[in-house]
Amino acid sequence: MIVFLHGVPETATLWDDLRAELSEPSVALSLPGFGSPRPAGFTSTKDAYLAWVIAELEALGEPVDLIGHDWGAILALEVARRRSDLLSSWTVDLANAIHPDYIWHGLASIWQTPEAGEQFWTDQLATSLAERSGVFQLFGVPEAGALKLAEMADAEMAECILRLYRSATPNPFADWGGALTPCQAPGTVLIADNDAFGDATLATEVATALGARVQHLADRGHWWALEDPAASAAMISQTVAAMSETEK
């Protein structure tokens, strides 16, 4: 089974169009507070989300092909490092985010700053869907996909985002630490050539350290899954199949 993890600011519906093109069985997990309820006392930190993802994968009862995007990629990479037994394979973008030298992007810096982060989301949620979707279109997301992204954000998600990013300073690796060594499960690092949040050099170093394949997505950006769902689904199917063949 293929399991998808979304990023920020997104919900599991990010994957709907891509999953509709797949022939393989799949499920898209919704992180608590991102279009799904938060359990009582859930702290929305990176460690809380990691524990939640691991519990969800354990509940599935079989190794899965894990696909992670953005923060979903960060969490998937940590699962691969700690619990490869839960995975048949893993595929992620934004691998640069777990590099020891990773520096957060400008938006993250705002969200990590008390008051500034809260004001950012107050202002954002007060704008129209059209205005918010226009921002995503500047990153190369088609209009329909951009509107879908804009519709996902709400006050609960905003609170979770602030808690999540503030738990990951100066970067995710700083607290999780440990050497970046080869994972037991086969992996693929996707590098979208037009990803404004990516860094091909750092991502490649992470892939090499983890023993993963590198696959470039030419002319694709951060939201590659929305840019061309059919082509992205075909790419995921081929990538998962290739890693399965490698293991035989």
Q: What is the pLDDT of residue 185?
A: 97
pLDDT at 244: 85
Distance from the Cα of residue 197 to its chain's centroid:
12
Looking at residue 248, what is its pLDDT? 56
Break the chain down into helix, strand, coil percent, rounded to 5: 55, 15, 35
* 3-state DSSP assignment of residue 91: strand
Domain CATH code at residue 190: 3.40.50.1820
Does residue 110 form part of some domain? no
Task: Give CA 3 to chain center in angstroms.
Answer: 12
Provide the β-strand partners of residue 29.
5
Quick one: pLDDT at residue 247?
Answer: 65
3-state secondary structure of 223: coil
Taken as a whole, the chain contains a residue count of: 248
Other CB atoms within 10 Å distance of the CB of residue 162: 20
Does some domain include residue 180?
A: yes
Instruction: Domain count for the chain, please give it.
Output: 1
| Any domain includes 126 | no
Residue 99 lies in a domain: yes
- Is residue 8 within 8 A of residue 31, CB to CB? The reply is no
Burial of residue 83, with CB atoms counted within 10 A of its CB: 0-12 exposed, 13-18 middle, 19 or more buried: middle
220 three-class SS: strand
> Within a domain: residue 143?
no
Structural domain that includes position 239: 2-103+175-247
* Grouped pLDDT means (10 residues each) for the chain, 248 residues: 97 97 97 95 98 98 97 98 97 98 97 98 95 91 91 96 98 94 97 96 98 96 96 97 80
CA distance 89 to 167: 27
